[in-house]
């Protein structure tokens, strides 16, 4: 089968399209014929092995799993001996390590039926980014009707879902994004959009009950300055901190400071949960959230998709599509 593979950590150039053996599912796994795979920052971290501390889990010298991709959608091809509830032919989406390939294996509890009203490309945009937004808001910040929510990185994959979820919860949402994403963020329901190239939201007079930072590098004191006295800050990504810790640096400092201040300062390392995937499926089928897909790339151009993720400021999610052999 064809797959996007890397032998070493590095920039986009380490990604290669190759023929490799089709994986064999374990007893608790499902073999998925991939139709589409989402592109998100986790792909960049896996590709570069940064921050370096992550290599403890990813592989010290080279990736343990050389096939890129982290979430996807497709059709069940085969199931392991212990798998119940899924069968060949079922259309599914979820967390599928190694999804930039014609076939991949996934734990059965990390896949759920695809929303009937979504394409495979839309469904592939949901798992990682959707779960991150859901866990940040419903599981951590829990905004209430009428509260003011600030989403930094509102036009990206996580941010586009976070804006929709916060609006669904009845919050008044301000979204921060680049100039190319303003129309998208407004269409998702944001009451106000801030162009970070023209205005620093942390210098303004507004105070927010909830701040979700998924794409920033603003110092923690600046974020706290616009957070309500008993507000909640959730840092779920971002840049800075150097090659060893990366964005984890701000997250660690927030957690260490939180017990000593009235504000609730939290970090988020999202995980894949079947119940969250089912929630996203329900919200998508009801139309309460709609995946914003900026652009699709064929599998052979997956490296270009990752390059656009890091350099092109996508509006919503980028998705890799996998051609289906006859």
**Could you tell me where the beta strands, DSSP code E, fall in the chain?**
2-5, 16-19, 29-39, 71-79, 91-95, 103-107, 111-113, 148-152, 172-177, 192-195, 208-213, 227-235, 264-267, 293-298, 317-321
Domains of the chain (ranges, CATH numbers) = 2-126+291-321 (3.90.180.10), 129-267 (3.40.50.720)
Query: What is the pLDDT averaged over residues 90-108?
Result: 97
Above 90 in pLDDT, residue 102?
yes
In angstroms, rounded to a whole number, what is the distance separating the alpha carbons of residues 295 and 47? 21
- Using DSSP's 3-state secondary structure scheme, residue 108 falls into helix
Whole-number pLDDT of residue 78 = 98
Whole-number pLDDT of residue 53 = 83
Please provide the average confidence, as pLDDT, over all residues in the chain.
Answer: 94
Above 70 in pLDDT, residue 321?
yes
Strand 172-177's sheet: what is its strand order?
192-195, 172-177, 148-152, 208-213, 227-235, 264-267
In angstroms, rounded to a whole number, what is the distance separating the alpha carbons of residues 83 and 77? 13
Whole-number pLDDT of residue 278 = 98
Contact partners, residue 42, CB within 8 Å, separation at least 6 = 70, 128
Q: Give tens-digit pLDDT for 180-192.
A: 999 999 999 999 9
Whole-number pLDDT of residue 240 = 60
Contact, 113 vs 92, CB < 8 A?
A: yes
Whole-number pLDDT of residue 58 = 87
Q: Which residue has the higher pLDDT, 249 or 164?
A: 164
Confidence of residue 266 (pLDDT cuts 50, 70, 90): very high
Q: Which residue has the higher pLDDT, 102 or 54?
A: 102
Whole-number pLDDT of residue 239 = 61
Q: Centre a 10 Å sphere on the Cβ of residue 33 and count the other Cβ atoms it contains.
A: 20
CA distances for 47 relative to 4, 25, 33, 98, 249, angstroms:
11, 24, 23, 12, 20
CA distances for 7 relative to 1, 44, 49, angstroms:
17, 15, 12
Above 60 in pLDDT, residue 326?
no
Confidence of residue 252 (pLDDT cuts 50, 70, 90): confident
Whole-number pLDDT of residue 245 = 67
Percent of the chain with pLDDT over 90: 84
Please spell the DSSP secondary structure of 65-78, one letter per residue.
S-B---EEEEEEEE
Percent of the chain with pLDDT over 70: 97
Confidence of residue 141 (pLDDT cuts 50, 70, 90): very high
In angstroms, rounded to a whole number, what is the distance separating the alpha carbons of residues 155 and 316? 6
Q: How far is CA 52 from the centre of its chain?
A: 20
Query: What is the pLDDT averaged over residues 190-218?
Result: 94
Contact, 95 vs 42, CB < 8 A?
A: no
CA distances for 219 relative to 22, 212, 224, 236, 250, angstroms:
45, 14, 9, 14, 8
Query: What is the pLDDT averaged over residues 265-290?
Result: 96
Above 70 in pLDDT, residue 91?
yes
Q: Give tens-digit pLDDT for 33-72.
A: 999 999 998 899 899 998 888 898 889 889 999 999 999 9
Q: 10: closest CA among 55, 70, 74?
A: 55
- pTM of the predicted protein model: 0.95
DSSP 296: E
Q: Which residue has the higher pLDDT, 166 or 312?
A: 166
């Amino acid at each position: 089968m064809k797959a996007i593979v890397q032998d070493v950590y590095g920039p986009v150039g380490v990604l290669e399209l190759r023929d490799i053996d089709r994986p064999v599912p374990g007893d608790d796994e499902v073999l998925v014929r991939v139709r589409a795979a989402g592109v998100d920052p986790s792909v960049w971290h896996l590709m570069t092995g940064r921050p370096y501390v992550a290599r403890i889990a990813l592989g010290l010298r080279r990736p343990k799993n050389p096939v890129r991709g982290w979430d996807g959608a497709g059709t069940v091809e085969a199931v392991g001996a212990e798998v119940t509830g899924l069968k060949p032919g079922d259309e599914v989406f979820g967390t599928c390590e190694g999804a930039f390939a014609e076939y991949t294996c996934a734990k059965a509890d990390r896949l759920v039926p695809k929303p009937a009203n979504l394409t495979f490309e839309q469904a592939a945009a949901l798992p990682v980014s959707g779960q991150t937004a859901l866990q940040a808001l419903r599981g951590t910040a829990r905004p209430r009707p009428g509260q003011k929510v600030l989403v930094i990185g509102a036009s990206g994959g996580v941010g586009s879902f976070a804006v929709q979820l916060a609006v669904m919860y009845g919050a008044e949402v301000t979204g921060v994004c680049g100039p190319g994403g303003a129309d998208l963020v407004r269409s998702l329901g944001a009451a106000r959009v801030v162009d970070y190239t023209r205005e620093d939201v942390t210098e303004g007079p507004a105070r927010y009950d909830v701040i979700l930072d998924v794409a920033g590098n603003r110092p923690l004191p600046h974020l706290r300055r616009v957070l309500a006295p008993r507000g909640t800050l959730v840092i779920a990504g971002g840049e800075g901190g150097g090659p060893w810790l990366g964005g984890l640096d701000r997250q660690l400092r927030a957690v260490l400071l939180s017990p000593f201040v009235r504000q609730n300062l939290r970090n988020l390392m999202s995980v894949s949960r079947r119940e969250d995937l089912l929630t996203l499926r329900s919200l998508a089928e009801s139309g309460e959230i709609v995946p914003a897909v900026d652009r699709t790339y064929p599998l052979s151009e997956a490296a270009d998709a990752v390059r656009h993720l890091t350099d092109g400021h996508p509006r919503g999610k980028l998705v890799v599509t996998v051609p289906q052999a006859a």
